[in-house]
Every structure is written in C-alpha cells, then in structure tokens.
Amino acid sequence: MQKNHLRTYGNSRRYITNSERIWAQLDDPDFQKNVDLYVLQESTERERVSTQIKDTSDRIASQTRRPLRLSVSKKKDRSGVPPKEPVVLIQTSSRRESRENRDKKKKRDEFYSKKKTETHAYVKAEKENLVLAGSRPRIAHFDIPVVQRCKTVSQSTSKRHVKLDDLLRFLHQDAALPFKSYIEPFQKWIRKIGEATYSEVYEVHTRRRLVWKIVPFLKKEQLRCIDLYNELRSTKTLGDLDGFVKMRRGVIVQGPYPRVLLRNWDMYKNKYGTQNYRPDYFDKDQYFCILQLEHGGIDLEHFTIYSWQEAWIVFSKVIHALAIAERRFEFEHRDLHWGNILVRRKQASTQQVIDLLGRVSLSNALDKTNSASTAAEGDIQITIIDYTLSRLRCTDGRILYYDFDDPEIFTAEGDYQFDIYRFMRDSIKLDWASFHPKTNVMWIHYLAYQLVHKKNLPIPKKDDESRENTFFKYFIKVLNVIRPGSNNSSRYKLNSAVSVERWISDGCHLPKTAEKKLLR
C-alpha cells in the first residue's frame, strides 16, 4: 500500500486507498491480541507486515476468512515527532457495499420509512395538542419510538434548509470573495499545520497567531451548507466560554486552490507526509469556508504529558468546560476524540511545570485555593474544537445538531473512539435532536481511557504510595464507575458532565466495599 495512495475517509483516522479499500488505525491493545503478526519485512520507506486474524471475534468476523495486510508506518506525526509506537493501519471493509450490506440497508430503509408514516401521525397529534415544534419534544406517553418523533419535530425548526445565501448572510457577506485575492495579502505568513477529514488547516501568524481551517463545501461528498452553518454558529456561541475555541471570523471564498497554499501543502507533505489528496483538483467554481480561529495549542494526541497529575489537570479541565456548556447551552460535543482537544502550556517552562506539579496532590488538584495547584492549572490550557457533530441549544431556542445520517460513522473498528459513536447511537436511539448529556459522559470515559492507556505514562507500582499512584487510582475509579453501560454510572446518577464534575469534586466517593473492588 503506497502512502500517497491513502487519504482520509469518513470519520477521523480512517483512510481510503485508490482501490477503494478502507483502512482504520489500529492501536488498540485489545484488538492486537487477536492478531498474529507473522511476517516482518524491512523496506527503506517503512516496515511492512503481513498478518492473519487468528481469533474469530465478532467485531472482525467478516474479515477472518482472508489474510489481512497491516502496514506499519514510521512516519512523523503532525508535530514532527516520530510516534513512540508504530501506527498500525488495518483494512476494515470495502467502501463499495457488499450484497449483504445492501440487503441490510434495504431492510433498515424499509423499517424507517414505515416509522416515518407513524411519525407523521405523531406530529399531527402533537400539533392538535398544541405542542409547539421547537419546544423540547415530550416523549414519555407515546408508544411509537422516540427516535423518529423527535427528529421530525425538531427538523421543522432547527433543521430548516440552509442555503448558500443564508450562510453568506450569516457571515455578513453579499457574495463569495475570490479565493486567490483573499489569500494574497497573507501569503508570507501562512503555513500548513494540520489536516483533517474535511479540511486543511493552516496557521496564519500576523499580529495574532490564528488558525485557518479551510473547508470545501456544497458539492457532492462535501459538507453541506447546514453542516457548516451549524459549525459556524456553534463556534460563535461557545466561543464565549472558557475552554472552547474562539472564532475571529468566517469567510466564504470561491475559486481554485491558490498556488501559495499548494506550495505550503507540498512542504508539509515532504516534511510530515499526508493522508489527503493534493487539493489541486477543485473546480474553478468551488466554494470554501475559511474558519479563522484562535490558536489553541497542540491536539492531545500529539501533546506530551509528563505526569499523572498533569493528565488529571487536562482531564478535569475538559470536564469543567463540558459541564459549563451543558448548563448554558445543553451542549453535547458528540465527537470529542483527542484530536479535538487542544492543549497548551502557558508561560512556565516544562521544567517549571514538572517542579510545580510535584507539589500538587490529588485533593488539592481540585482545591482551587491551593496556590501550587492553581498555578499548575493556569499553566495548562485546554481548548475544545470541532463542533460538526455537536448538539446545542442557542440562546434563541434554536437547536443545532447533526443527524448522523452517514451509517459509516458507526462501522469503524479498532479504536475506542469508534465504539463511542455506537454507544451514543444505542443509548439515544437516533434521537439526535434532544439533549442527552450522557454522551458527554461517554466521551469523558473515552478521554480517561486514552490518558490511562495511550499516553505512555508509567503505571505506578502497587506499593508505591506516591501522588502518582493516587492520581492513577483516581483515574481507575473514574474509568470503572462511568463506563458506558455500567450499573455504577446510573447508581451514582452520573449521566452528565455536570454530575461527573460534582462527583469528582466531592472526592469521588464510593462505598468502602465497592472502592476496594474497583481498585483491586
């Protein structure tokens, strides 16, 4: 598999080759247990590994018949640091639908079209009962599924059709600006810093250090106006809160991809490699939206964390930000993987942070009056980004949400992130419009999992009574108690970021017996 034949596909960390095969990144130790690596060949560019699935787990049942190829890439990551562990890509499924999948889809479509008819009846009944569309749908006493009822009701207000004109009006523009001439004055200060599923990301360092996320939209297989509208409006709304990225402005431009950006794109590719196609294939009439955001730091996936205390500070700050947004805007992020949490150290040097963190204990990490703790917390800032899949209620009552109508989101395997999309779907049963803060708890669980298992922090020794150990135990408690589907989570009523934050700041209390069991 040639590296330059890969580009990102669907949700993050899935890739598609020219031969239309989808690959997912696989660094989940659970999954690796099922894989027997048996050939390892060195080549100049990268190591290639052939592998065969030994164990027939349900998740990969469809692939067990044929040997799989794994490619272990040694390429540097976006920040230029070679990954500590090789990145393993595993072929998951073909983009072209198999006959089996087509049949399943047909059945699903039939099921939903039947439900739609029922929904119609519901909406009529609701209107007769004078329940206004746009108010939070009441759901308790009807026996048709909540899913379809809520969706139809909310769509009549929050999912109204958004056209290019609406988008332009929202951004106070009469028409799209020519892409080339818009970029020209900034060309000396632009450099590419990252890439994503739908966009290329550049840093523009003039008087301020800004990030420009350049997103093509409107054409087939690109974002729709409604998706962009939701993202722009969510970013604007949440920007007032601490811990959420601030948007300077959004601009709609039109035209082919400017040469200066292509040059930058090439330089980035030569240095770090790329998983996207060179963006020189767009038509002359292509529209782009440039989201101009404040620079929030390095994404958590690539940010180096030095200690369990530091991990804890990042963790509690994310929970705090979510809790505030839940209260203010009934916010659910719904896509809070570690590429969407930016972290930055402010002022203090790394050594200062380590020294400082050495003085922070578990209890005072949450005690805002403790000076060491407060200083360390002040040095680490988190910024949550990317609200394409998010849900929130704006101050005018309008609900912004994504209806997860791309079934691909739920099919990826190999990383805990992908399980979370399925947990969300199963828990809220396609009722994407309504407020289900439980999804935030799921992402909090994912975050705890990533920090414990993926950041390469040393697991403290059992008999070591250091603070490291205490923080680690604390993480394990959180992991066990808020695990999606666990009884504990409902027993302690941990069904929102607000409740998780409260539970943690009350000391994460559990009955003694439960505690012993969890920490064993």
Catalytic residues: 335
* Token pair belonging to 506: 């009350």
Tell me how far, at minimum, the Cβ of 171 lies from ligand ATP, in Å.
18
Tell me how far, at minimum, the Cβ of 301 lies from ligand ATP, in Å.
7
**Which residues, numbered 385-404, are part of the site for ligand ATP (CB under 6 A)?**
385-386, 388
CA distance 179 to 259: 11
Tokens 């050495």 locate to 358
CA distance 320 to 500: 9
Tell me how far, at minimum, the Cβ of 423 lies from ligand ATP, in Å.
18
Tell me how far, at minimum, the Cβ of 218 lies from ligand ATP, in Å.
16
296 lies in the site for ligand ATP, by CB under 6 A? yes
When computed from its CA atoms, the radius of gyration of the chain, rounded to whole angstroms, is 24
CA distance 342 to 319: 14
Q: Which is nearer to ligand ATP, 296 or 437 (CB)?
A: 296
Tell me how far, at minimum, the Cβ of 231 lies from ligand ATP, in Å.
8
- Compute the CA torsion angle 349, 352, 353, 357 (nearest 10 deg): 180
CA distance 391 to 13: 22
> How many other C-beta atoms can be found within 10 angstroms of the C-beta atom of residue 43?
7
CA distance 21 to 94: 5
Q: Which is nearer to ligand ATP, 150 or 384 (CB)?
A: 384
**Which residues, numbered 200-259, are part of the site for ligand ATP (CB under 6 A)?**
201, 211, 213, 245
197 lies in the site for ligand ATP, by CB under 6 A? yes
Which one, of 407, 481, 414, 394, lies nearest residue 445 by Cα?
481
Q: Which is nearer to ligand ATP, 198 or 416 (CB)?
A: 198
Binding span for ligand ATP by CB under 6 A among 36-44, 295-303, 414-422, 490-498: 295-303
Q: Which is nearer to ligand ATP, 79 or 427 (CB)?
A: 79
Tell me how far, at minimum, the Cβ of 16 lies from ligand ATP, in Å.
13
CA distance 55 to 61: 9
DSSP state of 11: S
Binding span for ligand ATP by CB under 6 A among 290-298, 305-313, 450-458, 498-506: 290-298
Angle at 431 between CA 425 and CA 436, to 5 degrees: 80
Figure out which of the listed residues 10, 12, 289, 481 binds ligand ATP, where binding follows CB under 6 A.
12
Helices 438-453 & 416-428, crossing angle to 10 degrees? Answer: 160
Q: Which is nearer to ligand ATP, 212 or 308 (CB)?
A: 212
342 lies in the site for ligand ATP, by CB under 6 A? yes
Helices 99-128 & 146-155, crossing angle to 10 degrees? Answer: 70
Binding span for ligand ATP by CB under 6 A among 14-22, 142-150, 335-343, 351-359: 335-343
Q: Which is nearer to ligand ATP, 60 or 380 (CB)?
A: 380
Figure out which of the listed residues 293, 336, 399, 494 binds ligand ATP, where binding follows CB under 6 A.
293
Contact 265, 278 (CB under 8 A): yes
**Which residues, numbered 359-388, are part of the site for ligand ATP (CB under 6 A)?**
385-386, 388
Position closest to ligand ATP via CB: 196
Tell me how far, at minimum, the Cβ of 73 lies from ligand ATP, in Å.
18
Tell me how far, at minimum, the Cβ of 388 lies from ligand ATP, in Å.
5
Which H or E element spans position 443?
helix 438-453
198 lies in the site for ligand ATP, by CB under 6 A? yes
Which H or E element spans position 318?
helix 308-329
295 lies in the site for ligand ATP, by CB under 6 A? yes
Binding span for ligand ATP by CB under 6 A among 93-101, 312-320, 336-344, 463-471: 336-344
β 87-94/35-42 pair status? unpaired
343 lies in the site for ligand ATP, by CB under 6 A? no
Which H or E element spans position 344?
strand 341-345
* Token pair belonging to 62: 């469809």
Instruction: Report which residue type is found at 159.
Output: K
412 lies in the site for ligand ATP, by CB under 6 A? no
H helices of 99-213, in order, are 99-128, 146-155, 164-170, 179-183
Binding span for ligand ATP by CB under 6 A among 14-22, 159-167, 292-300, 488-496: 292-300
Task: Using CB under 6 A, list all residues that contact ligand ATP.
Answer: 12, 194, 196-199, 201, 211, 213, 245, 293, 295-296, 299, 339-340, 342, 385-386, 388
